[in-house]
Structure 1
Amino acid sequence: MSFFFQSNVENLSPQIMRHVTKELMTLQSDPPEGIKIIPNEEDITDIQAAIEGPAGTPYAGGMFRVKLVLSKGFPSEPPKGFFLTKIFHPNVAKNGEICVNTLKRDWKTEYGIKHILLTIKCLLIVPNPESALNEEAGKLLLEQYDDYSQRARLYTDIHAKPPRSSCEEECLDKNSDGPSAKKHAGDKKLAEKRKKEKKKTLKRL
């Protein structure tokens, strides 16, 4: 999923810039549980974070990258929120835009970046089908929860699961000449096959 966002550095006052910078530094040193700030030192208005899929939800085990776009009217006007990671969710449009009351009619100037990110994380736990941007997901959530959950987990498995770590790859390489080499190779091929099958399933849905 590709996005193009224009920087708003020139549109924000120095006072707001300092406030945002300070909050982002605080969030980096003391992040909320399951949320990690991804800083962009060249553009402070490029606010990105990785949100861990909450346990007990179809998003568990996934890592979802989100972006906040500050408008020139910030903080009087709410920022816009986007999922950069593909996700099947009632309140997330196909272009990644997030629909949540906190970023709409319930916005308050005192809300900070932390409050917004926590709200988005809560949205993964408790979706709101009444303000659905993805009508199909909203309908499934209300009428066929098992089908909704299955589709959401499928998206999570394909798009939001972290890649295999270099350490795991090294362990596989070390065993490449050992007796378990065939087993590891088989596991890897099976995983790739399952991923391809999931992608085919998504195309049919």
Structure 2
Amino acid sequence: MASTSSISNVENLPPHILKRISREVYEISESPPEGIKMFINEEDITDIQASIEGPSGTPYEGGLFKMKLVLSKEFPAVPPQGFFLTKIFHPNVAKNGAICVNTLKKDWKPEHGIKHILLTVKCLLIYPNPESALNEEAGRLLLEQYDEYSRYAKMMTEIHAKPQKPSTSSSTSIDACCPSSSKSTEEDKDGELLKKKGTDKGKIPSTAAAATAAAEKKKKEKKKALKRL
């Protein structure tokens, strides 16, 4: 996938436009549309990134798709460019992630806000437009073999867009398979705990040793008593 990194436009855009972008970004962060999350770059407010949940009932359901908007120094007279950073099989998304949607092309208006763009991209996941396909294969399958299109789109979603689950540590796996290893680990933890408390574990008598010492003491006391008799 081609790089979609952009040079910061903080110095290129006029203060009133930067103020508008900042206000919109923070408003979306505080009250996000359903299924959309905004990421704020405090150092560069023109670095606009968000994640969109795959709408239910579509091949993208269950996926989390990250995207970004690249603003030019002519913004808002010129529309931003939209890119998916997450790989997706969609007629209107090129292999480099570029998004083709009329809102970012002929239907663009300077008054369109960031929220409007994000909602439009989310709608594009529900209603693809094969007539303006950037991915010709996806567009063809959508029109001619929808089941095949859906199957492939779901597979790509499963591979690239599924939220990562917390991985189980190797020690946990070993403990589950090898109880002795788990016991050793617990003993190590006990040792560390004793060290923290300033106690020398080697000087602590075991229960059996304590019982033996008590029995020996009783024997000695009994012998002394018999001698007195």
CA shift for structure 1 position 76: 1.4
Following the alignment from structure 2 to structure 1, what is the Cα–Cα distance between the partners of residues 51 and 171? 29
Following the alignment from structure 1 to structure 2, what is the Cα–Cα distance between the partners of residues 99 and 178? 50
Q: Does 1:138 find its partner at 2:136? A: no
Q: What are the superposed Cα offsets for residues 33-86 of structure 1, whole Å, 9 maximum, x if unpaired?
A: 000001111111110000000001000000000000111111111110000000
**What amino acid does structure 2 have at the position aligned with 1:78?**
P
What SS does the corresponding residue of 2:11 show, helix, strand or coil?
A: helix
> Matched residues, percent identical?
66
**What amino acid does structure 2 have at the position aligned with 1:136?**
E
Following the alignment from structure 2 to structure 1, what is the Cα–Cα distance between the partners of residues 51 and 154? 18
Q: How does 1:156-175 map to 2 (within 5 A)?
A: 156-165=157-166, 169=168
Following the alignment from structure 1 to structure 2, what is the Cα–Cα distance between the partners of residues 176 and 114? 48
What SS does the corresponding residue of 2:116 show, helix, strand or coil?
A: helix
**What amino acid does structure 2 have at the position aligned with 1:161?**
K
**What amino acid does structure 2 have at the position aligned with 1:67?**
K
**What amino acid does structure 1 have at the position aligned with 2:60?**
Y
Following the alignment from structure 1 to structure 2, what is the Cα–Cα distance between the partners of residues 155 and 100? 21
What residue number does 1:15 align with?
16
**What amino acid does structure 1 have at the position aligned with 2:150?**
S
Q: How does 1:31-180 map to 2 (within 5 A)?
A: 31-165=32-166, 169=168, 177-178=175-176
Q: What are the superposed Cα offsets for residues 115-162 of structure 1, whole Å, 9 maximum, x if unpaired?
A: 000000000000000000001100000000011001111110110001
Following the alignment from structure 1 to structure 2, what is the Cα–Cα distance between the partners of residues 105 and 73? 16
What SS does the corresponding residue of 2:48 show, helix, strand or coil?
A: strand
Following the alignment from structure 2 to structure 1, what is the Cα–Cα distance between the partners of residues 141 and 173? 45
Q: Structure 1: 5+ residue runs without aligned partners? A: 182-205
CA shift for structure 1 position 174: 5.6
CA shift for structure 1 position 176: 5.8
Query: TM-score, normalising length from structure 2?
Result: 0.73
CA shift for structure 1 position 2: 5.6
CA shift for structure 1 position 5: 1.8
Query: TM-score, normalising length from structure 1?
Result: 0.81
Q: Structure 2: 5+ residue runs without aligned partners? A: 180-229
Following the alignment from structure 1 to structure 2, what is the Cα–Cα distance between the partners of residues 96 and 107? 20
**What amino acid does structure 2 have at the position aligned with 1:150?**
R
C-alpha distance 173-123 of structure 1, shift in aligned 2 (>3 A):
farther
**What amino acid does structure 2 have at the position aligned with 1:47?**
I
**What amino acid does structure 2 have at the position aligned with 1:77?**
V
**What amino acid does structure 2 have at the position aligned with 1:91?**
N
What SS does the corresponding residue of 1:10 show, helix, strand or coil?
A: coil
CA shift for structure 1 position 175: 7.4
| Higher-RCO chain (CA-CA 8 Å, sequence separation at least 6) | 1
What SS does the corresponding residue of 2:163 show, helix, strand or coil?
A: coil
What SS does the corresponding residue of 1:9 show, helix, strand or coil?
A: coil
What SS does the corresponding residue of 1:151 show, helix, strand or coil?
A: helix
